[in-house]
Structures are given as structure tokens and as C-alpha cells.
Structure 1
């Protein structure tokens, strides 16, 4: 199991089961862990339209306030354990909201999904640095980048698995 898998496994074991209706999505890069859980939609709320949006926003707001102290304690524990900042988010009905989250300076401020792309290219040896990776991405502006990066990550996972199975030196 790679580091991402270990971080996600810890979160799945650590989060209170009653918070979310499904396992939380755990996104990891070298700077931050973003944990996004799905809340049950409010009973009797509309499924679409402005009423659904308002009901979902109300549920998100309630969750944020009611769990604040416990979320802070869990985040501090995780930050100490994994050496990364923690951000929280929730989805409810048609809405998803991220609470305070990291915007790390690279050459510009990038959110975690963009940093993960750059770090994947560096870790795979496609680029020497985040700066080179960003320049490569701008030149490519690939419509098929998601598919290619998925294949690259799968290959890196295979390489990591093979390293773990190999002889110890």
C-alpha cells in the first residue's frame, strides 16, 4: 500500500461513521490532505432547484458548526502524523463546499488538484521540477491529459508494488 493508501486508510478508520453516508473521499498531495464527505440530504427537501440548493447549504452549514471542534482535533492529529495540512469539505445534494484549504505558492497559487498533476509529472521523471511540469502542461494543454495521467499513476503504482516485492538491500 502506497503512502496515499495509508493516509486514506487512516482517515477511513479515524472519521466518525455517523458523519457521512459513504466513505469520505481523501485527496492527498505532498502539501495537503483534503477530506470530502457526503452528507445525507435533508428529509423532505426538494431534489432540484433553488429549494434543494438552500436545504443543502443549510445542512452543510449545520455540519460545519456542529463538528468544528472535533474536526479541528482530528486535523491536528493528522497534521502531526502525516506532516501535511488538512482541509475539509462536504457534499450534500447538489452542492459541494470546501472549508478552509491550502493554496500553495508554486509560480502561481494552485489548488490541490493542479498540484497533484505537477507532482505526478515530477515523481514520474517527466519534469525536473514543478516549474518544468507547469510549463510542460501549458504547452500540452492536453484534452486527453486525464487519461494519460491515470495511466502514468497506474504504472507508478505497479513500479512501487514491484519495489516492495523485490529483494531488500
Structure 2
């Protein structure tokens, strides 16, 4: 049986300690990695504190959370990595601040024709990216930002296909 995004999310939702996050975390899954992004309580500030003080307080809260939950997160990650054969990455949101603690940068090989290479080379020459790899990453992020709703619909459709496939007969 292949593990679907929903089965991985379900397992993590049941496995994570109840007091780790203040709401159900966002779980993102791909072939190499499971990313768990949870929300933690924002610190209370004194009246009149400015945005800089708020950001610093949130960063401090995130840092404290990272250190104080490390052992529990490692325990869950080890179980999930063994169960699902994927690495587990962690991130957190606190107020308007967010941070990723661990995550993979996976190399992806591609073949590009000259017009696509010229786009990447222009981004490098303009200082937008340090290399073709950085330029390609930048392009993928840009496309993702501008097509979020379409990509979400596509992911939902693919998830439904996985559910139907998993419900079908198995070959023995």
C-alpha cells in the first residue's frame, strides 16, 4: 500500500503531542520529505510596543520552542521516517513570524533548451540569482506564487485519484 498525503497527515495528527501546537499543523508531503508546520502561541507584549519589538518577541518565542521541543520532535520524526521512508522537516509560525528548522534541498536534474537557459542566464547576469540552479528555484517559486489556486486544485484531484487507487483491488 502506498502512503497517501492524507494517511501521513492523519498519522502525524494522531502522533504529535497535543500540547506541541495550538492548532492542527499544516503537513506537506512529497516523495522525499514530510514537512510539519505548526502554529505556536504569540507572546504578549506591553502596550505601545512597536513592530520591531513584536518581531523580536516572536523570534525569541520561536527559538525557545525549537530548543524546548527538540527531543519530542526528533522522536516523532524518527518514527515517521521509519514508517513512511521520508525525512521529516519542521517549521513554526508565531504571529506574523515563521521559521523552518530543518528541510531538505534536493537536487533535481532537468534538460533545458537554449531559450530557457537564456532566461536563467539573464537572472544570473542581473544579480537576481547566483547560479542557474538558484535562478531555476526562483522561477519555480514565482510560478508557485502566481498559480496557487490552480496547483491546489490539481493536488486535490491527484489526492482523489490516490484514494480511488488505494480503494481498488490489490494484486497478490
- List runs of 5+ in structure 2 lacking aligned partners: 111-135
- Count residues with an aligned counterpart: 140
Root-mean-square deviation (Å): 2.8
- Please tell me whether the aligned partners of residues 45 and 51 of structure 1 are also in contact (alpha carbons under 8 angstroms): no
Match for residue 76 of structure 2 among 52, 74, 77 = 74
Q: How does 1:138-149 map to 2 (within 5 A)?
A: 145-149=147-151
Q: By how many angstroms is 1:28 displaced? A: 0.5
User: Who is 2:15 aligned against?
Assistant: 14
Q: How does 1:61-140 map to 2 (within 5 A)?
A: 61-107=63-109
Change (3 A) 1:101 1:45: farther
* Partner Cα separation in structure 1 for residue 12 and residue 166 of structure 2: 23
Matched, 1:58 2:86: no
Q: Greater Rg, structure 1 or structure 2?
A: 2
Change (3 A) 1:45 1:24: farther
Q: By how many angstroms is 1:58 displaced? A: 0.5
User: Who is 1:35 aligned against?
Assistant: 36
- List runs of 5+ in structure 1 lacking aligned partners: 109-133
